[in-house]
Copies of this chain bind each other. A is one copy, B any other.
Amino acid sequence: MTQDKINRQWTVARHPETSLDHSHFAYREQPIDPVGDGQILLRSRYLNVAPVMRMYMMKNGGGFSTESPLEIGDVIHGRGVAEVIESKHPDFKEGDFVHGQLGWQSYKVSSVTQGEKIIAMQRRGVPAYYGLSALGMTGYSAYCGFVTRGAPKAGDAVLVSGAAGGVGSLVVQIAKALGCGPVVGIAGSAEKCRMISELGADEMINYREEDVAERIGQLLPDGIDVYFDNVGGAILEAALDNLARDARVVLCGSISEYQQEKRTGPRNYTSLRASEADMRGFFVYNHAADFERAEVDMAEWIKAEKLRALVDISDGFDTMPDALIGLYTGENLGKRLVRVVPGEDVIF
């Protein structure tokens, strides 16, 4: 009965070297495999696009080890929110929703392997795309990265770069919910800054128009206690010049460096010394034990209207390559994701 459906897929046509364009993507249609014992058939509802996907598409996975390297013709890796439409697995039934590793395709027959990290969603009466933002990996990243690795205290001065992005916009709101302040967000346009302000940030810096180091010094004269870094590069350096004693710098992402051919490091990293600051690496999959706590706290903040998911929805499966390419030019407001069926949102 499912075999009459068509599985639409985006695959790797060519490995990217530096930047991405349409020539790296190929579209194809495939029949759907029958569902075997212990398997479930998933129908993709929302698919994620994220900067790391360019690395997945590179030769040898860009040296990034969490997913197996993609060969030419392979379906591109990516997580998504899906509905279970057929189940021969004891833990799932028709109508359940999950988020997990689906790949860039409209259907997936899954054996619920460890590697797919399929997580059942709890019914919360919100749009199901929350499973790709506040109530999924993006939310776990913001929560575990900021709370566990950043160790914020009430009253801490917090700086967040990429503050209009998926993770960053949640970190801004978590920081406020925990009583930190001032909370300063950095973004790349007046529109994004306005948006961050609406989410509760106390101050904003537009890095395309302002001297970031100077503005941090003005806004946080006693220094930064927690800097949540989504971008690396010059903004990381500006933050390192403005640290308070015992500051924590959480390294979550470095999108400004992904497309550079010649990697550089923060030239002023030695400024960690006088302030005895820590630069702390963060990798969300190391924190699986805390995902449930993250989701419970996040869901509570959502109910209390202290937190909302900022999503930038690209409409339709066809738009996936454009949705990803546009990430590197900073055009998205909040977490970018793709609604697989145009115009059709699901409440779960």
Contact = CB atoms under 8 A, between A and B. Distances in A.
A275 B277 CA distance: 19
B278 A279 contact: yes
A279 B286 contact: no
Instruction: Tell me the interface secondary structure of chain A in the complex.
Output: loop
A263 B267 contact: yes
A281 B275 CA distance: 7
B281 A281 contact: no
Contact of A269 (B149, B265, B274, B278): B265
Interface in A134-156: 149
B282 A286 contact: no
A278 B275 contact: no
A278 B276 contact: no
Interface residues of A, number: 31
A236 to B, nearest CB: 9
A27 interface: no
A283 B236 CA distance: 21
Contacts of A279: 269, 272, 278-280
14 contacts: A149-B276, A251-B269, A264-B265, A265-B268, A266-B269, A269-B279, A270-B281, A271-B281, A273-B283, A276-B282, A276-B283, A276-B286, A277-B280, A278-B278
Interface of A: 65-66, 149, 232, 245, 251-252, 254, 257, 263-283, 286
